[in-house]
Amino acid sequence: MIRLNNDTPTDILQDVKKGSLVTDTFSKTGLVETIDISDDGLYRIYTFNLVTGRSIVIKR
């Protein structure tokens, strides 16, 4: 299981694949269904959409 939070290194965030088991250490745990990576000029935003319908968003 991969723990995702704002302290997670960028190389770990980039290694997460579809089907990986992830958690945000609070209430969101599940398998990754899709991953969206966007860049707003200031932050790179990783959005991990889980099969449970929840999303984990990390700004770097």
Domain locations along the chain: 2-59
CB-CB neighbours of 55 under 10 Å: 14
pTM of the model as a whole: 0.92
Contacts of 58 (CB under 8 A, 6+ apart): 4, 5, 6, 8, 13, 45, 46, 48
pLDDT (tens digit per residue) in 23-43? 998 899 999 999 999 999 999
Look-up of token digits 């990390």: 58
pLDDT at site 48: 98
pLDDT at site 19: 97
d(Cα 38, Cα 27) in Å, to the nearest integer?
24
pLDDT (tens digit per residue) in 12-24? 999 999 999 999 9
Of 35, 44, 50, give the one whose Cα is nearest residue 9.
Answer: 44
